Structure 1
Amino acid sequence: MLDRIELTLQAGNGGKGCTALWHNRRPYGGNGGDGGDLYLEGSTNVIGFSSLPHKNTYKADNGQDGLPLNKFGRRADDLTLLVPLTTEVVIDGEVRFRIEKDGQREKILSGGKGTLGNLSIKMHPYRKGATEME
């Protein structure tokens, strides 16, 4: 059986860092969480690609935005798509890898990094944090 599908895959975006000021005008915004990665995993329980939900686009979750009080955003969960064994992954016309074993897990895309909150920027030796809100 020959089964072929084309998918659009997207990793999650990183969360935004928070810009927050304490009552004494000191920064205290937390960093954004990292976006989710996207994996393909081989499974003997999957016969063909018909077991995938009927959509062409799959996207991992985004990281949570940073919060005041220097609270970091939560890292997003990774997205794993189960595929049949002997699946070849072709990206831009080139075979990147082949999934041949049950449980073989390959990372397709890495999620984005969360951005820094203004407390982390203030503590960075080469950056100046926000000292007032617009």
Structure 2
Amino acid sequence: MPQSDEVDLLALDRQVCFALAVASRSVIALYRPLLDPMGLTHPQYLVMLALWEESPLSVKQLSGLLQLDPGTLSPLLKRLESAGYVTRRRDPRDERSLAVELTPAGRELRTEALKIPPAIIDRLGMTIGELESLHKNLTRVIAAATV
């Protein structure tokens, strides 16, 4: 136990890992009621965000963008395919590569998803500038922690 004038480096409320874990769970929970009507989980939403930017993408490309190993990504893609939002097929340029492409329903879902960012911004009660600053700092944390 530290002296009264010493900073306790092991105090739970001083831990960056604790703050990040709670913030992550809390923010992801805000997405749930917005994603449920779309039939998406938060990880599936992240896949869709990547594909709305560029489609088709290989599983390897998606894995890199989302920083998920292919073993974690594969079940997400299977569920998105079952929902009719994506197709998975062998890339004709490289038979070893699996290409993931949006279906028309997957492309249409983007219109509904446009409502999500403003709802999250409103719920967090932060300015765009504050959120951009937070994003920048979190990106630095991710880069520093990535080995």
Higher RCO, 1 vs 2 (CA within 8 Å, ≥6 residues apart): 1
More helix by percentage: 2
Q: Name the TM-score, length of structure 2 as normaliser.
A: 0.20
Give the TM-score normalised by structure 1.
0.21
Instruction: Answer 1 or 2: which has greater strand percent.
Output: 1
Larger Rg over CA atoms:
1
